[in-house]
Structure 1
Amino acid sequence: MSGDTAGPSPTMSLPQARGFNWSNLGVRVASAVVLIPAVLAAVWVEEPKWPFLMLIAVAVALLAIEWGAMTAPTAPRRVSTAVTVAALAAVFLAYLDHTTLAWAAMVLGAVAAALVARGVAERPMNAAFGVIYIAIPCVCLVWLREMPRGREWTVLLFAVAWAADIGAYAIGSLLKGPKLWPRFSPNKTWAGFVGGLAAAMGAGAGLSFLPRIDLTVGTAAMIGLVAGLATMAGDLWESMLKRRFGVKDSGDLIPGHGGLLDRVDGLMFAVVVMALARLITHWGWAH
């Protein structure tokens, strides 16, 4: 981007867009077959609670490592460590039901990470944003899981986000057509966008029949639509960040998908929307 020097090098050329690659579909499916049951098991097991907390803690560490590598090329370990400590402090406070302290720790942690980055000649705002970017969805996820009927709502969250992602990929690959935002994400199409939203609504409506979730089909479908929109927004946001920092993928952790951030970018936005929807229904504003 002209005039933008926020990446590793002001003159670094942006990566070329990749075409849809059906040849790695088997790898993507295999990765999903391994990861999805593990995630759902950690979410659904009520006692002990530590598997769910450990899942989030590991995710925080991996996301922070990818963030440091992407945004702090001269000192990735120090920045990653600062982001990890700050985000984990907020997560553990939220887990202990100290929500207000969790938000305060997040802000203080962002300031601390910025000071660390400044001390190693990296951009302070990138480090601070990394804390906010990672900690907010993780705190929301902990809160959502600990709410009444939290397991069902968390499963709803994952189902909607995954459906939006899969629907957008499949429909966009099949129908192609006009691009959604070619400047930052040349592969995404309007057909995929609509397909992803339809899949998210279908997933929401389908999971309205889960015992104890206490949602009508229409309300669940509407929640699926809004969370699906958030999923798409998160995906586009990460595409913009990768273009800004001049990287193709956030990492190579997950075969067929890239880094963990590439896999959960939409989920990170969707969980915030789902937490707000849960709060609204908890207050009795929707049925």
Structure 2
Amino acid sequence: MAFGVREMGMRTASAVVLAPLAVFAVWLGGPWILGVMLAACVLLAVEWARMSARMAWKPMFGAVAAALAASVAMAHAADLSFGLVMMVFGACLAGLFARTRGLSAVDAAYGVLYIGWPAVLMIWLRDGTSAVGFYWVTLAFAVTWAADIAAYLVGSAVGGPKLWPRFSPNKTWSGFIGGLVAATLAGVLMTALPDSGAPGPIWSGLLGLAGGLAAMAGDLWESALKRRFGVKDAGALIPGHGGLLDRVDGLMFAIVVIAAGRALGRALGLGA
């Protein structure tokens, strides 16, 4: 497959603008990360509603956005468990509300859970303003970006058999393997972050591998969802990437796996 020069240029330009803003908000932590997550949840709720209820998207958006905002705010103000309980409760309420408007209760509830899990876990991983929290969130970012960029470059340069042509005809096995290697290396390199309480290069590398696998699974899953709803892109917010959901689909899955890895590492005494 030949390199798409125009597409790569748009991707690069978008990344140059968005990546530093994301990292800066994560570095500040505290209310800044809360504000970013609330804004992201609103934008993602819009895209989810427009995909899942195109003819009557506003009631779907209101139900999903309200549940997401309450979940994230609760996770920030209280703790992870309260945020997760609020998310499940909000998903149930969103489903009931959608049903009263003649919309799919399953799509409304799933939208809250799909977006809410990584949003709530992001707040937990950041852990206020600590250097340890900064490490865990940037680990998820680094692993996802490494997997995404390497998969695109290696897949474009090498080509070969398709990974899952039914839902994502452009992805190849060569890109998949390249992405996993890059994600693992990113996990190892992230241990160089000072005062991070990183769990060591072996565990961090394994987290990179698992996070990279999750990131590519998230990308494929969103492709399947878009196929189900009959849309090419989740939106048109980001040049070269479509919507915000198109950009963070892998990150959403990676955050869940990285959070599970942090919890397991704590239980095993491998990191903060």
CA distance in 2 between partners of 1:192 and 1:162 (Å): 13
Q: Pick from 55, 75, 97: which aligns with 1:116? A: 97
Say which SS state the counterpart of residue 186 (structure 1) adopts: strand
Aligned equivalent of 1:258: 242
* 1:134-213 to 2 correspondences below 5 Å: 134-146=115-127, 149-213=132-196
TM-score, scaled relative to structure 2: 0.94
Aligned equivalent of 1:11: none
Q: Pick from 97, 103, 112: which aligns with 1:131? A: 112
Aligned equivalent of 1:53: 34
User: CA contact under 8 A between 2:76 and 2:123: conserved in structure 1?
Assistant: yes
Q: Pick from 253, 266, 270: which aligns with 1:282? A: 266
TM-score, scaled relative to structure 1: 0.90
- CA-to-partner distance for each residue in 1:18-44, whole Å, 9 max, x for gaps? x97332211111110110110100111
Aligned equivalent of 1:243: 227
What's the CA shift for 1:182?
Answer: 0.6
Structure 1 residue identity aligned to 2:58: R
Say which SS state the counterpart of residue 236 (structure 2) adopts: coil
Aligned residues: 268
Structure 2 residue identity aligned to 1:195: G
1:73 paired with 2:57, answer no
Say which SS state the counterpart of residue 187 (structure 1) adopts: strand
Say which SS state the counterpart of residue 207 (structure 2) adopts: helix
Coordinate RMSD, CA, aligned: 1.6
- Structure 2 regions of 5+ residues with no counterpart? none
What's the CA shift for 1:50?
Answer: 1.9
Structure 1 residue identity aligned to 2:73: F
CA distance in 2 between partners of 1:67 and 1:253 (Å): 13
- Structure 1 regions of 5+ residues with no counterpart? 1-18
CA distance in 2 between partners of 1:103 and 1:179 (Å): 37
- CA-to-partner distance for each residue in 1:109-149, whole Å, 9 max, x for gaps? 11111122212221110011000001110000000001761
Identity %: 50
1:268 paired with 2:252, answer yes
1:85 paired with 2:66, answer yes
Structure 2 residue identity aligned to 1:145: R
CA distance in 1 between partners of 2:9 and 2:65 (Å): 32
What's the CA shift for 1:95?
Answer: 0.3
CA distance in 2 between partners of 1:116 and 1:24 (Å): 40
Say which SS state the counterpart of residue 75 (structure 1) adopts: helix
Aligned equivalent of 1:42: 25
Hey, which of these two has a bigger chunk of helix by percent?
2
User: CA contact under 8 A between 1:27 and 1:255: conserved in structure 2?
Assistant: yes
Moved more, 244-253 or 203-212: 203-212
CA distance in 1 between partners of 2:203 and 2:91 (Å): 36
- CA-to-partner distance for each residue in 1:214-246, whole Å, 9 max, x for gaps? 332222111100000100110010000000110
User: CA contact under 8 A between 1:161 and 1:228: conserved in structure 2?
Assistant: yes
